[in-house]
Chains A and B, each alone.
Chain A
Amino acid sequence: DTAVSQTPKYLVTQMGNDKSIKCEQNLGHDTMYWYKQDSKKFLKIMFSYNNKELIINETVPNRFSPKSPDKAHLNLHINSLELGDSAVYFCASSHSSGGAGDTQYFGPGTRLTVL
């Protein structure tokens, strides 16, 4: 059983398009996250939701919009894609939002390539 899953695994698209990445966790966790890993492997948090409520909203272009329909799902929609959006996007989840040293469990990643 996959704990944190993402679809698609690979996404190749043209500049200006709109695309979505989906994430699901079956761990019963309350908190989910989106991270971006750039070509130099640097990881940066983008968003976090706790029980469907946005709790972390980093300085990210407003072309990026997360949506959490329920606490097991967190999707990322990106409008008007730009070359600089090319990266690997990781979804993660944790039992709660940082309390008691909760470990964040990462999904397999979605490699987005914008042409």
Chain B
Amino acid sequence: ELKVEQNPLFLSMQEGKNYTIYCNYSTTSDRLYWYRQDPGKSLESLFVLLSNGAVKQEGRLMASLDTKARLSTLHITAAVHDLSATYFCAALKGWYGKLIFGQGTELSVKP
């Protein structure tokens, strides 16, 4: 059974600092997704990682995938308050679009 675990679950950061969110998954998965959710809002797609060694960057966020270690990371560079949100990773199980989500990491960026 595919399980996805994120850590940390809560992250309080200072503006300007760097940090990494980790996403481990328990069995083989070919796709890894990162989503952002603001309080009371929908999920916004950030990245889709399709292959081993994939790296994608958008602004202050960079995501990577190591399929051999079954690990994806979301690196935050020089955090700003606008990045405060909950970040979810999700791994694809099978071929029918079944996403298995991690627990989410609630990020709070303070001045």
Mark A residues whose CB is within 8 Å of B.
31, 33, 40-45, 48, 50, 55-56, 90, 92, 94, 96-109
Contacts and interface: CB of A to CB of B under 8 A. Distances in A.
A98 B42 contact: no
Nearest to B45: A103
9 contacts: A42-B103, A55-B96, A56-B97, A90-B42, A98-B95, A105-B45, A106-B35, A106-B42, A106-B44
Nearest to B106: A41
A87 to B, nearest CB: 14
Contact of A43 (B44, B88, B92, B106): B88
Contacts of A103: 33, 45, 48
Contacts, number: 69
Given A43-B101, A107-B42, A101 B86 contact: no
Contact of A33 (B88, B94, B97, B103): B97
Given A45-B98, A48-B97, A97-B95, 19 more contacts: A41-B103, A41-B104, A42-B101, A42-B104, A43-B43, A44-B101, A48-B98, A50-B96, A56-B97, A97-B97, A98-B95, A98-B96, A98-B97, A101-B31, A104-B45, A105-B45, A106-B43, A106-B44, A108-B41
A90 B43 contact: yes
B83 interface: no
Interface in B74-111: 86, 88, 90, 92, 94-101, 103-104, 106
A66 B43 CA distance: 21
A105 B33 CA distance: 12
Contacts of B50: 100-101
A106 B38 CA distance: 13
Top 7 A-B pairs, shortest CB-CB distance: A98-B97, A43-B101, A106-B43, A97-B97, A101-B50, A97-B96, A101-B48
A50 B95 CA distance: 12
A106 B45 CA distance: 9
